[in-house]
Structure 1
Amino acid sequence: MQTDAKVTPDYIFESSWEVCNMVGGIYTVLSTRANSLQKLYKDRIFFIGPDLWESQESPWFIEDTTLYTSWREHARENQHLEIRAGRWDVPGQPIVFLVKYKNFSGKQNEIYSSMWEDFNVDSIAAYGDYHESTLFAYATGLLIESFYRYHRLEMVNVAAHFNEWMLGAGALYIKKQVPKIATLFTTHATSIGRSISGNNLPLYDHLKEYNGDQMARQLNMVA
């Protein structure tokens, strides 16, 4: 089977809240396809997850301090990114970057303003895990941009895949800051659908009648 060199990426960034962080089904999806991607893109597929581990280490993360040391130091000094590198302890053991994001909390309003001005994303009613997820997504976008520019990848094909709503802000960041990187976004479930069901409303009986934007406002799910 031939592949088209014009559309086949040379590097892939795959990001999710569940990289090295087993929460639900997305972990299974990503960890099982990691082996196939690693075979196709040997150490040119990079998984990005949140560095949530303080009192104990992630049981799925094998740290390797020798991986991309100079770039990570550059990112720390210039973009204030704290990144740990290693391998995801799943078949294929792809390279993984775990990034801290809470240090960007002071930029939260700036991030939301930019999302509104550039993409009309309304975060005014945001609450709970939306804030934390957006900060992680922002840090992920910043990480990808930093790696891309530091290694001068402008002349090769790069793709960035963002999984689930928690990474939406990262996709928008790359779309604005590094439009040459191809962006992909996959939603593994719909928050509106879950909220409709959770509020005991008849989801399937009126599926064709629901207006997504209207229900988002009604259920306070705009952000």
Structure 2
Amino acid sequence: MDRQHSADYALFETSWEVCNKVGGIYTVVSTKAKTLVEKLGDDYVLLGPWRLGDEQSEGEFEAEPGFETFTAACREMGVPTQVGRWKIPGAPRVILVEFSGLFERNDEILAELWEEYEVDSLTGGWEYVEPVLFGYAAGMVIERWYDEFFAPKDLPGVAQFHEWMTGAGLLYLKRHAPEIAHVFTTHATILGRSMAAKGRGPQLGLGGREAAQIAAELGVRSKHSMETVCARESDTFTTVSEITALEAELLLGRKPKPVLPNGIDLEVIDAISDGVDRDRSRAALSHLAHRFLGELDPDTAFLCISGRYEFHNKGIDMLLDALARMAQTPGRPVVLFATIPAGQSGVGNSLRERLEAPEFGGDVAPLGVSTHNLIDQANDPIQQAVKRLGLLNARGARVKVIQIPIYLSRDDDLLGFPYEGMLRGIDLTCFPSYYEPWGYTPEESLAAGVPTVTTDLAGFGRWVRKEGLTEREGVIVLDRDGVDDEQATEKLTAILEKFLASDVDPDEMARTCRRTALKTAWTDLVAHYYEAFDSAIEGCTHRRE
């Protein structure tokens, strides 16, 4: 049944991470959805990839009857779809788009993008072509849904596309359905991310060279081209922080406006935590650590780092370096849970046996560093770093590292509950990022009631500084802008040692952190999105005139 709306337009939102948890955009979109549903009802439609056989996507999606005519029409176009609900708070309407039928039209589609917009796809491999075909298919589906359900009501349409990965949909609409306004949102430029991974962040400039030249050298020529064209052609171009706005203007040639800070909804975070409280999470983490490591001091502090596996950009390297320094001095024991997805083939058999054993004790050796069998352990950055630094979980060592290379969920065979639930048993999260356009993980940590470390090279960290927030509010900002790695690592070590030596009441700290998280509530920050949608409608009107 359709739900009524209270706005004068219909909204489509397309992301590779709708019903498909890959990174932070998943959390941005999923926590914002309830707020948009409250305003737009079923005139708000999300689009994501229909990934056949993907159990995670299937577990988050519930099909909805009554759209057989629409789905038959999409199948006739060569783009099968499913219409249903995303099983998150707000239950927004979702269309999952299956795009493999466009493979045979690949050359035709890429040629169209070149001839119409000069998108240079010449060097794009499969990791480029796949999302381009998805975006193009999503554009076709948006056009069909708009013509069938919204146009008859004379309802203006706005389509928001997240990242270059969906940008082909925006370009499709501009050519084939120009009456639909569009917003392009980059959460991080592909070139900026690639530059930072090589040790030279975009804040250091281009050194007198052209962005396209650097993109070609770094192997992201086609992705950068798509992103640049979408920034140029969109009715409204946006990004998530002031630091990324500067980056986008430098690398893509257009200043984003407005900026869309990432908000959060505490009720949503609580709902997707599956009711896990601190005691339950702490008990599960302690059980895992004890069985995996063979020992666990009851005074041990639990730290956590999570997110996309970008070893340098996310500051994983710096955190491990800081922990290695701490390991050389006496102090409170530490276990770092590195919940960073990587290629793996399941929980290690020895760990599985230990977890299932009714009794456990005695002189038991640790089981390495990773809970799972890594596909390429020899070349895994965390594995290489802990070996180099001597963080190998030796018995009696002050600092231990547990690598969890999966997205935690209720079906993960490890903890049995989501990441948002796991967070509640952590004492401190640490995200010492070198490149972080916003940084949703520290914001998410605060919403779970856990203090956090971010940096002044993260959009969130700069927002924290602008708001005048400090460790008293549960958030610490590490200086990395213009600071060499040695000094920053030394400072991070001091921050961690100070926290470990402090007497923190976890219940009071949780209340403090959640109060801080409320400062980024979607109910307030969604106004920036409404500004973007209004701007796009106005731009579309001028464009058509």
Fold shared by both chains (TM-score > 0.5): yes
Structure 2 equivalent of residue 112 of structure 1? 110
Q: Distance in 2 between matches of 1:136 and 1:39?
A: 28
Q: 1:202 to 1:50 in 2, by over 3 A?
A: closer
Q: What is the root-mean-square deviation in Å for CA atoms of aligned residues? A: 1.8
Is the Cα–Cα contact under 8 Å of residues 9 and 158 in structure 1 kept in the other structure?
no
Q: Out of 55-64 and 40-49, give the one that drifted further.
A: 55-64
Deviation, structure 1 residue 214: 2.4
Aligned mates of 1:55, 1:158 — CA distance in 2: 31
| 1:176-219 deviations in Å (ceiling 9; x for gaps) | 10011001110111110111122233543336756322211222
Q: Residue 85 of structure 1 aligns to a residue in which SS?
A: strand
* More relative contact order, 1 or 2 (CA 8 Å, 6+ apart): 1
8 Å CA contact 2:192, 2:201 repeated in 1: no
Structure 1 range deviating more: 146-155 or 166-175: 146-155
Aligned to 2:197: 198
| 1:62 alignment counterpart | 62
Residue correspondence of structure 1 range 18-167 to structure 2 within 5 A: 18-54=17-53, 56=55, 58-64=58-64, 66-77=65-76, 79-151=77-149, 153=151, 155-167=154-166
The superposition leaves residues 26-83 of structure 1 with CA deviations (integer Å, 9 ceiling, x where unpaired) of: 001100110011011111100000011326352211122x142221122222x12211
Contact 1:163 / 1:187 at 8 angstroms: preserved in 2? yes
Q: What code does the residue aligned with 2:174 have?
A: K
Q: Across the two proteins, how many residue pairs are aligned to each other?
A: 214
Q: Which amino acid aligns with 2:184?
A: F
SS at match of 1:58: helix
Contact between 2:10 and 2:150, CA under 8 Å: does it hold in 1? no
Paired position in structure 2 for 1:172? 171
Shift of 1:94: 0.5
Q: 1:63 to 1:202 in 2, by over 3 A?
A: closer
Larger gyration radius, structure 1 or structure 2: 2
Aligned-partner Cα distance in 2 for 1:181–1:123: 25
- Alpha-carbon distance in structure 2 between the residues aligned to 1:42 and 1:94: 8
Contact 1:85 1:97 in 2 (8 A): yes
What's the counterpart of residue 220 of structure 1? 219
Deviation at 1:152, TM superposition (A): 6.2
- Residues 213 and 55 of structure 1, relative CA distance in 2, 3 Å threshold: closer
The alignment partner of 2:199 has SS state of coil
Distance 1:220 1:9 in 2: 43
Say which SS state the counterpart of residue 153 (structure 1) adopts.
Answer: helix
- What does residue 383 of structure 2 align with? none
Structure 2 spans left out of the alignment, 5+ residues: 1-6, 223-545
